[in-house]
Structure 1
């Protein structure tokens, strides 16, 4: 009888205690990329035998740093604890004197229990364009005839963003858009430039503004107007 009790106590003390392992966590595919953040996350599918006390996503511009949350150049989110899925918004890093330099970002999910920290697969993304705070083309003066308008404008190089397309749009109503008549400008030099709009209707008032298009959207300058001669 005593032997049976001893065996039972031994099983209770040692046999019922499982070894604690690292958690198992996966990285969620990146679903949204902007100039400010990328949307990702992860899922803790196994706690390793101990409660998951922290989870989130870490990021770096060097994938070699993503083996620890303490490495230089690593930033991370904290998205709760326990098992299950979570969503994280990773902030984009910009550099340089004008804060216009960007690079590939690397991300991976992490989860921590009493045994240590585990990581998911490393994914990467390239930040989106910054919004354009000023238009590249500034209309200065407009010279008209009965059927033409010569637009004098200044081109400003956009240091913050990659402009995919730029030009002038015009119409006979007050807010022309890229869906109206447009002249796309591609061969251009910094500073003063001109373009000529032809085949206009005599004695007609037109509205014109410049536009820029980048990944973040379409940006318009203020509207100017002119009236063709008789």
Structure 2
């Protein structure tokens, strides 16, 4: 009995000894690292707790959990995974708490500080819509504020790619998550690049780029001229581009000047960008014209190349306005060339004949080489004859004539004569003469002076014969009586009779 009790005591002692010799369990050591060491609200941080350890247990048996904000609430459950990623949605300084637990339930924690800065916002260009020819509506959406309030949002644009707020821009009145702005005063016919933007404390961020081409002036080319006549020609327009805005009107315009516009005469061929032909009418023959095609859209009017042509020429147009008699054998015509026929006037004048429709093969005058009014002096006609007169104008095309004018010259009368003063007076001689100013419409056959002591002239009294024809002549009076008063008359004879000049008296010497 005693032996049994002793055995039990020994066993108890041995057990106590063994238990006392066992090593005591200690808590694990908590530690972690993270990368990157600083970031922003867009940064995904990676945390590594594999540097934690335990003196009694293997690392893989340790369990980890995390508190991202040190608020006393664990954000994850215990897990044997030593790696974890996390993104912070606010920019500030955070204290990260990591707790490690060993298999026996002992725990330890480790805290580390991390600084999270704000990131750029994220903005999206949602839509582009044309308002009018010079305005575009841009819609955007703020997807993320980057952890910092959006201070401003809107759209920016430029004619180069990648516009920024340093280029033209407009901000939204309400920087909400969804916004739109209208970009206006855009120039015609330009390609613009647009981006939405959002600005927070970090600066501006941009959405994707969209393009927009504003309508420009149409493009049109002038067709070649054809079918030229005296008063018409045909042309048109081709290779028409509407410039981004439908062509509302098109046609051709023309002028006698180098740059015809739609305010000049023009054709109207309707809308659309199809090629067209136009007939130009009511032109002046033989005239240079300038023509070009035009096209009109909502932006304005544009023109094609200037083409030149000349309508075919014709004979000049002229008429006799009036006439007057100048003496008994002379006529003055007053004529006018109203149109040159499209060519330069080489010569103009009047022609006449005793037969109808005289031409330049008959007697004629030459009175200049321009259009408009001109007089023609016609002399050497016969008295009491019916003459036909026409004005004429000559160009390289030919000679044109006016209407035929019939004029009857006056009947002949005795000549008109004036007596020259007496000079060189001696006792038996003197000098005189005269001038026939008008032959009276008939040739002067005899002329001279006659004298007498009486007061009336008689050709069959004493006289001289001093040739014929009109003009000035001189006469010598001889065989006079001394100290005697004489009366002298110049005279001229034609087929009608005799004409006398004024009476002149003188007295011979003793």
Give the TM-score, by structure 2 length.
0.24
Question: Whose relative contact order is higher, 1 or 2, with alpha carbons under 8 Å and at least 6 apart?
Answer: 1
Give the TM-score, by structure 1 length.
0.49
